[in-house]
Amino acid sequence: MPITTDPKLRSFVDYDEKSHFPIQNLPFGIFTEKGQTRPGVRIGDMVLDLAVLEKRGFFPSRPKLFNTSTLNPFLAMGRSTWRAVRATVSRLLREDVGELRDNSELRGKALIPVQNITLQMPVAIGDYTDFYSSREHAVNVGTMFRGKENALMPNWRHLPVAYHGRSSSVVLSGTPIRRPRGQVILENQENPVFTASRLLDFELEVGFFIGPGSELGHPVPVDAAAEHIFGMVLVNDWSARDIQKWEYQPLGPFTAKNFATSISPWVVPLDALEPFLCKAPEQVPRPLPYLQAKNARTYDINLEVYLQNSRISSSNFKYLYWNIAQQLAHHTITGCNVNPGDLMASGTISAPGEGGCGSMLELSWNGSKPIRLHNGEERKFLRDGDTVTLTGWCQGAGFRVGFGEVTGTILPALD
């Protein structure tokens, strides 16, 4: 276990044991303060300015990486650089190291309260792919529309199903989401109408960012995938179910998914998640050799969904049938190249049982079983004015390594 994840580590920056951002986490993001945008690391309710540290020579063997408005140059450098920067940051923030703690001038410039900054998109996203890797979610949806006997399509247990999304509409947490309009088929009608979506939904997902890219024509081996993955964020891939129902055959999601995808602002490095590795679900039948990892593992990440401040679902990343290494290996097996900053999302993550569904489609069983909120209101799908919040964290011994939140409020459709 890397020293940066040692449960005994303590920082001179104060935070409580339920904070998502202890010294064991140290997620990376992009922020603006006093008109300048640059990278930072979150610690408690403070942000450590990496540009200041770089200017002061704390990363002497590194090229200039933090005089920039995206994390892409840093992501492209690879694991040895990530770990060197992380180790330096961890050391400077320790309670028993005085280099930053006792330098009031440097501390005043390098540590900034989060209330004094504006968060930005952490990465300039080139391409976006959304997987469909939760068996529980796939079975729920398949049962609704094809019956229990045909819930999973024949290919589902053999490969990580996915579609290519739209990176231009990936937005930061807090961005309002405009209800989309499109073609839908109303009940007992033969021809479509153009209208605002009536079946707007969220999807509880986790995504990962590519670090070093791959060469065209050269697949990424499943056991080397982690060398190409920097870290993870929460993802809400908003969906218009009625638009999707009409358009998805034969090529899959299009306008029902391309209007908005929200991500959380802090990218949690895989190194911070390493203590929470756990055994991946058993896969039957055994995948083809290119999808067989020597030690198939995933991450124990608690996930929750809140609608209008009511918790409506609790799930966990560990239930994903296809893990992130398999997703990347399959994505590139044809020779498709990936680039620094590409985003890949898990697809809706549902847990066993009714309380773990990762979408309104499942929670209300396609609108047939409305869910009740704490204020007595009921929902089948999302209404204008609704706010959806996703959160997630790994639970350690007296600390959490968390992702913060990804949130969005629904605005009415344009006239």
Q: Please tell me the distance from the alpha carbon of residue 282 to that of residue 284, in angstroms, as a whole number.
A: 7
Predicted pLDDT at 63 = 82
Identify whether residues 101 and 240 lie together within a single domain: no
Predicted pLDDT at 336 = 98
Q: 250: cis peptide before it, omega within 30°?
A: yes
Of 99, 120, 141, which closes a domain?
120
Identify whether residues 154 and 260 lie together within a single domain: yes
Q: Is there a domain that residue 304 lies in? A: yes
Of 88, 120, 152, which closes a domain?
120
Nearest CA to 24 out of 399, 403, 404, 405 is that of 399
Identify whether residues 107 and 136 lie together within a single domain: no
Q: Is 14 exposed, middle or buried (0-12, 13-18, 19+ CB in 10 A)?
A: exposed
Predicted pLDDT at 3 = 85
Q: Please tell me the distance from the alpha carbon of residue 160 to that of residue 222, in angstroms, as a whole number.
A: 13
Q: Please tell me the distance from the alpha carbon of residue 402 to that of residue 15, in angstroms, as a whole number.
A: 13
pTM over 0.75: yes
Predicted pLDDT at 162 = 97
Give the domain extent around 356: 128-411
For residue 57, give the CATH number of its domain.
2.30.30.230
Predicted pLDDT at 60 = 85
Predicted pLDDT at 353 = 86
Structural domain count, the chain = 2
For residue range 60-91, list pLDDT tens digits in order: 877 889 999 999 999 999 999 999 999 999 99
Identify whether residues 92 and 147 lie together within a single domain: no
For residue range 24-39, list pLDDT tens digits in order: 999 999 999 999 999 9
Predicted pLDDT at 332 = 98
- The rounded Cα 136 to chain-centroid distance in angstroms is 19
Identify whether residues 159 and 113 lie together within a single domain: no
331 is a catalytic site residue: no
Three-class SS of the chain: CCHHHCCCCCECCCCCCCCCCCCCCCCEEEEEECCEEEEEEEECCEEEEHHHHHHCCCCCCCCCCCCCCCCHHHHHHCHHHHHHHHHHHHHHHECCCHHHHCCHHHHHHHEEEHHHCEEECCCCCCCEEEECCCHHHHHHHHHHHHCHHHCCCCCCCCCCCEEECCHHHEEECCCCEECCEEEECCCCCCCCEEEECCCEECCEEEEEEECCCCCCCCCCCHHHHHHHEEEEEEEECCEEHHHHHHHCCCCCCCCCCCCCEEECCCEEEHHHHHHHEEECCCCCCCCCHHHCCCCCEEECCEEEEEECCEEEEEEEHHHCCCCHHHHHHHHHCCCCCCCCCCEEECCCCCCCCHHHCCCHHHHCCCCCCCEECCCCCEECCCCCCCEEEEEEEEECCCCEEEEEEEEEEEECCCC
Of 95, 120, 145, which closes a domain?
120
Q: Please tell me the distance from the alpha carbon of residue 343 to that of residue 237, in angstroms, as a whole number.
A: 12
Nearest CA to 198 out of 392, 410, 373, 344 is that of 410
Q: Determine which one of 20, 137, 228, 331 is catalytic.
A: 137
CA distance readout (Å), 338 to 126, 251, 328? 9, 22, 9
Q: What is the pLDDT along the chain (415 residues), one digit of tens a residue?
A: 568 999 999 999 999 999 999 999 999 999 999 999 999 999 999 999 999 999 999 998 778 899 999 999 999 999 999 999 999 999 999 999 999 999 999 999 999 999 999 999 999 999 999 999 999 999 999 999 999 999 999 999 999 999 999 999 999 999 999 999 999 999 889 999 999 999 999 999 999 999 999 999 999 999 999 999 999 999 999 999 999 999 998 988 999 999 999 999 999 999 999 999 999 999 999 999 999 999 899 999 999 999 999 999 999 999 999 999 999 999 999 999 999 999 999 999 999 988 899 999 999 999 999 999 999 999 999 999 999 999 999 999 999 999 999 999 999 999 8
